[in-house]
Amino acid sequence: MSAPAPSLFTPAAKAMAATLGLKMGRANLDEFAATLEELAKANPNIVAVTSDSRGSGKLAPFGKALPKQLVEVGIAEQNLVGITAGLAACGKKSFAVSPGCFLTARSLEQIKNDVCYSDVPAVLIGISSGVSYGALGTTHHSLHDLAVLRAINNLTILVPADNFETRQAIRFAAQATKPVFVRFGKAAMYNLHQPETTFEVGRAITLREGNDVAFIATGETVVHALLAAGTLAERGVSCRVLSMPTIKPLDKEAILKAGRECRAVVTAEEHMVHGGLGEACAAVLLQGGVGKPFRIVGIPDEETVPGAQADIFRHYGISMEGLSETALNLLP
């Protein structure tokens, strides 16, 4: 029997989630697979393309239900993206599904040229991104993907936080006429949104209002920011929490508003601190003339500490406790 993976949430964090009324959902990876299968059953033009990744992409049921809509290319990510682009150029709604680490590094030139520059409506799905593969080591981490993809023209970049955002991101991608990249993890996620929440690409979602600290977070770090806001509220610090499911195009308006209305800004992402959400926010704030105390929480520019995803998150302060401490230290 192998030891269970350490939890992303400490007992205190779990207690805060309960206080905030958050319910645990399924992994965003599972939500993706279910959504894609549902969409593909209704639209025979949808094709999933895998690089020996149908198991890791949770697409085995998809492959069984819709064998003619799944193309297996073997362990060949360059070919994966080239084929996906060719399918899209001939009218297919093609989804390349592969671990984010390989998809966005091994086949970066195919993403740049075959998909974005050629402007075909292909979808790139980076599964188990960030440090989802934790202890498998740096080969399996994608901490560069947002940085490199932000520097490529003509790509919408989506990083959903929970099951709702994942479902909406995949639905958007399925009808997009331009290239889209979506990345998410494989750990079970709390559901963060109310039923009435609307999801719009290019728009931040305000999860909590507040004026002391603005947490601007993306993907599966959003929950930790929300829990930190709960903890800080108990200490009399009012926090705004913005979920940023769209990294590109970025919701500059929401970032500037948060910067102007709050006393400090903390960003959080499962990505290296270079080139991701944090630096993007810094550029928006600085160019918008907003100079508030500011911290980027993410993975620093060093060889990532060995450990499971939860260990890595805690090590670098991507946790309720870590984000609370960062925010308190930042407040003037």
Partner 1 sequence: MARPALSDRELALKAVRLRQQTLTAIYDAGAGHTGGGLSCLDILNVLYNRILNVSPETAGSPARDRYVQSKGHSVEALYAVLADRGFFPEADLKTICHYQSHYVGHPTRHIPGIEMNTGALGHGLPICIGMALAGKMDAAAYRVFTLLGDGELAEGSNWEAAMAAGHYNLDNLTVIIDHNTLQISGHTRDVMSNEPLDEKWRAFGWAVKVVDGHDYAALTEALSQPAETGKPTCVIANTTKGKGVTFMENVAKWHHGVPSDAELKQALAELDVAAAPLKESV
> Which of positions 23-62 make contact with partner 1 (CB under 8 A)?
47
Stretch that binds partner 1, among 23-31, 115-123, 200-208, 219-227 (CB under 8 A): 115-123
The stretch among 16-24, 112-120, 198-206, 217-225 that binds partner 1 (CB under 8 A) is 112-120
Q: Measured from the CB atom, is 55 or 74 closer to partner 1?
A: 74
Inter-residue contact 328 to 237 (CB < 8 Å): yes
- Segment contacting partner 1 by CB under 8 A, of 71-79, 141-149, 179-187, 225-233: 71-79
Member of 20, 89, 147, 188 binding partner 1 (CB under 8 A): 89
Question: Quick one: which of 29, 48, 73, 149 contacts partner 1 (CB under 8 A)?
Answer: 73
Work out whether 86 is an interface residue with partner 1 (CB under 8 A).
yes
Helix axes 222-234, 320-330, angle to 10 degrees: 60
Near partner 1 by CB under 8 A: residue from 82, 179, 275, 322: 82
Q: How far is the CB of 171 from partner 1 (least distance, A)?
A: 23
**Contact range with partner 1 by CB under 8 A, out of 111-119, 220-228, 270-278, 310-318:** 111-119
> Which of 81, 189, 204, 217 touches partner 1 (CB under 8 A)?
81
How far is Cα 264 from Cα 331, in angstroms, rounded to an integer?
6
94 forms part of the interface with partner 1 (CB under 8 A): yes
Which residues contribute to the site for partner 1 (CB under 8 A)? Answer: 47, 68, 71, 73-74, 76, 78-79, 81-92, 94, 109-110, 113-114, 117-120
